[in-house]
Amino acid sequence: MSYWQDKICLVTGGSAGLGLAIGHALAERGANVILNGRRKGVLDGAVEAITRRGGKATPLSGDVVWQEDVDRMAATVASEFGRLDFLCNCAGRSSRGAILETSPEDMQQLLDVNLLAVVRMTRALAPSLLATRGHLVNIGSLASKVAPRYLGAYPASKFALAAYTQQLRLALSAQGLHVMLVCPGPIARADAGQRYEQQGANIPNDARAPGGGAKLKVIDPVQLAADILGACERRKPELVLPAKAKLLFAIAQLSARWGDWLLSRSLRQ
């Protein structure tokens, strides 16, 4: 029997991209999947795609940046499912822009969705996860560890997410909750070349590419989803892909000068 058989699993940002890939991976392993998203039509289509393949999936519409929606969703999970075994905070946004052109308002928007939404969802659902000794997975980025030029407010929001996740791990692991930060490189998307055409007029063309121009292969979201679930089964505290990025992170911690030099060398800018 699969480890995930009949587990109740909620994925935010689950109507597309990595969130949907995680939903499919969970359903294929026998989990009862709850997909969250803001756009009802897209969300219903995502759920239908899972059920058409024999999986169990339920839509849960709502905007994770609004406390009222988060409270309603938590109440729905409690009343309709009675427990929660897995929460993946996958909803998020990235950005592009020169740092001096990044306004406080830009920072606030990214912090709202990449950090504060995670705080809201975690606080609302942590009691249910603690009761099942389940899994809390926060989707970060390589930009949770290093901050390349031209990514605007994105690294600041993902660094904050990494810090919050570490605090949760230290506070809750002894109570049986598995907490994991996932730090992937650029993920393959259908709109990969066009997402940032309207952002950052004064940034190099390469910086608009996946990963902000990093010399990295894009990651298959299906494989990444499988890797995330496998890491959960082993209750790993962190998953970094590609793994070779860990060397850059370690050097950057030891020497800011060498870290900055290596990061600049790794970009096409």
157-212: per-residue pLDDT in tens?
999 999 999 999 999 999 999 999 999 999 998 765 555 656 556 777 777 777 67
Per-residue model confidence (pLDDT) at position 266: 78
At 213 the pLDDT is 65
Mean pLDDT of 91-96: 94
The predicted model gives 42-59 an average pLDDT of 97
Distance between CA 147 and CA 143 in Å, rounded? 6
Closest CA to 101 of 201, 212, 194: 201
pLDDT in tens, 213-254: 677 789 999 999 999 999 999 999 999 999 999 998 999 899
Q: What is the mean pLDDT of the chain?
A: 93
Confidence band of 263 (pLDDT split at 50, 70, 90): confident
Give percent of the chain with pLDDT exceeding 90. 82
For CA atoms 161, 240, 131, 4, the dihedral sign is: positive
Lowest average pLDDT, out of 9-13, 105-109, 244-248, goes to: 244-248
Token digits of residue 238:
């962190």
- pLDDT > 90? residue 32: yes
What is the domain partition of the chain in residue ranges? 8-265
> What tokens appear for 50 in the block?
């899972």
Reported confidence tier of residue 91, pLDDT bands at 50, 70, 90: very high
Q: Which tokens go with 224? A: 């990444």
Predicted local distance difference test score (pLDDT) of residue 265:
81
Give the span between the Cα atoms of 247 and 108, in whole angstroms.
Answer: 31
Contact 88, 125 (CB under 8 A): no
pLDDT average, residue stretch 57-63: 98
Cα separation, 225 vs 219, in Å, equals 10
Query: Distances in Å between the alpha carbon of 48 and those of 18, 53, 74, 194, 224?
Result: 17, 9, 22, 28, 22
Residue 25, class by beta-carbon neighbours within 10 Å (0-12 exposed, 13-18 middle, 19+ buried)? buried
> What average pLDDT does this structure show over 1-30?
97
pLDDT at 201: 62
Q: Rounded to the nearest 10 degrees, what angle do helices 256-265 and 245-254 cross at?
A: 150
Q: How far is CA 218 from the centre of its chain?
A: 16
How confident is the model over 260-265, as a mean pLDDT? 84
Query: So what's the pLDDT on residue 100?
Result: 94
Cα 177 to Cα 255: distance, rounded to the nearest angstrom: 34
Longest dimension (CA), the chain: 54
Contact 43, 249 (CB under 8 A): no
Q: Report the C-alpha gap between 29 and 23 in whole angstroms.
A: 10
**What is the CATH architecture of 8-265?**
3-Layer(aba) Sandwich (3.40)
